[in-house]
Amino acid sequence: TKWVHVSCALWIPEVSIGCPEEKEPITKMSHIPASRWALSCSLCKECTGTCIQCSMPSCITAFHVTCAFEHNLDMRTLLAENDEVKFKSFCLEHSTGATKPPDDVRMEADQGKLDMEKVTLRKQKLQQLEEDFYDLVK
């Protein structure tokens, strides 16, 4: 039987959670490409499990989701304008705050175009998603 950390199911792009409220079933693990399984974690140096990579353009640094949280890397959940949830993760080098995230990594893109009610709703959804996520990884 295959298993996966719930935090990994959220952050590994090929994997899905059938019912997010119940945090199960975790599906599409077979969609994870061999190239992702072959990545070596830059933090623990192990090549077990799967890794994600830094969201900074041109950076290919890989790390386990669990290692990223253990090392306090920047792990951001963002709500795009189309209400799609995006997960952006940054390596040790790009988590310092010294390097500005890419332009597409913005919590709200041009708030002037959005009415206040929609902005408030988006923030509430994002805050709830972040709270739920951090409850899972504790």
Measured over the CA atoms of residue 118, residue 124, residue 130 and residue 136, the dihedral's sign is negative
Q: Is the pTM of this model over 0.75?
A: no
Element (H, E) at 76: strand 75-79
Residue 31 to residue 13: CA distance in whole angstroms: 9
CATH code of the domain made up of 6-100: 3.30.40.10
Are the CB atoms for 52 and 11 separated by under 8 Å? yes
Domain ranges of the chain: 6-100, 106-137
Please report the DSSP string for 92-120 in residue order: TGGGSSSSPPPTT--SSS-GGGS-HHHHH
User: Which residues have CB under 8 Å from 69's CB, separation 6+?
Assistant: 7, 75, 137
Q: Quick check: 110 pLDDT over 60?
A: no
Mean pLDDT (the chain, rounded): 79
Amino acid (1-letter code) at residue 8: C
The reported pLDDT for the residue numbered 105 is: 35
Encode pLDDT of 37-66 as tens digits: 999 999 999 888 999 999 999 999 999 999
